[in-house]
Amino acid sequence: MDFWNSRNVFVTGASGLLGSWLVEELLDRGANVTCLVRDWVPSSRLFSEGHLDRTNVVRGELEDFGLLVRVLNEYEIDSVFHLGAQTIVGTASRSALSTFEANVRGTWNLLEACKTNDRLIERVVVASSDKAYGVHETLPYTEDAPLQGIYPYDVSKSCADLISFSYFHSYGVPVAVTRCGNLFGGGDLNYNRLVPGTIRQALRGEAPIIRSDGKLVRDYFYVRDAVQAYMRLAEALPGEKFTGQAFNFGTETPVSVLELVDVILQTMGRKDLKPTILNEAGNEIPKQYLDCTKARNMLSWSPAYSLGEGLSETISWYGNHLGYAPAKNAAGVR
């Protein structure tokens, strides 16, 4: 029998990129899924592909502590995936207060609710980010690198990590933290992000817009690999070697913004398009990439998709979603 069959699972941030794919996988593996949904976004995969119809839906916000306690208790939740957050760096820079409310208060509210329902809760996975590490001269990041975010989004993730560990060490909440590279995949409707924005512009025959100087280096991580990573970690909880721990997940193949745009255009057969570089992005860490040795050794996990394979699937999804003919894939891109 599958590990997830008949488990009662609560997913915050269910309508987001990762949430929609995770919910689909959990449902397919027999879980009883309850979703926390703040905004009704019909174009989200969770809505448009019918996954929400197969779940329990709770409308509300992470800032509502009483709501979280009620949901965990009434739906007898045993497994929690905390993905809900304000995830856009630019939005965080424009509105630090709302980011801290969602990402920091939201995290302590959820963990306090889990503590309140400790007889039910068996595992909690909190979604963090490589941005929790902040700026480091020595890369790649390992899990023991200090958390030293300085910009609003980065700080919110550093704080959420520390709060998670506090609830483990102080109260025994069976929590673990994931720190992933930049997620991409079909269903990301934030077109100000690099991958969906570049794909949409290329489908329209427009020059991709790069808001940075194009030199920022990141680890880009396909969402379907991320789903398997999250589930693998959750299945290891509440094992004593895994609770109270953080795990890096990524491809360990850092690329610059310009390099990634070039791969996307090559995969789509649109090398005729040349990106426009605005060089106006602020509050960004110059270089970020992860060492995933811990996940490989302790969880026997590794990504199944190369960057090129993930991008090919992603491009196909947007082509269908936006009503364009299937994109022409360049041979040999991996």
Q: Catalytic residues, which ones?
A: 153
What is the rounded CA–CA span in Å between residue 121 and residue 167? 13
Task: Give residue for tokens 């990590």.
Answer: 161
One-letter identity of residue 232: R
Length of the chain, please?
334
Residue 175: which H helix or E strand, with range? Answer: strand 175-180
The strand pairing partners of 294, in sequence order, are: none
What is the rounded CA–CA span in Å between residue 225 and residue 305? 7
Inter-CA distances, 243 with 89, 196, 235, 237, 240, Å: 29, 34, 11, 6, 6
Do residues 313 and 185 lie in contact, with contact meaning Cβ atoms separated by under 8 Å?
A: yes
What is the rounded CA–CA span in Å between residue 237 and residue 321? 36
Burial 270-303 (b: 16+ CB within 10 A, else e): beebebebeeebeebbeebbbbbebbeebbebeb
Backbone angles phi, psi at 25, to 5 degrees: -65, -40
What is the token pair recorded at 276? 């426009």
Backbone angles phi, psi at 42, to 5 degrees: -60, -30
Do residues 291 and 252 lie in contact, with contact meaning Cβ atoms separated by under 8 Å?
A: yes
What is the token pair recorded at 91? 């939005």
Do residues 16 and 83 lie in contact, with contact meaning Cβ atoms separated by under 8 Å?
A: yes
Task: Give residue for tokens 């194009």.
Answer: 214
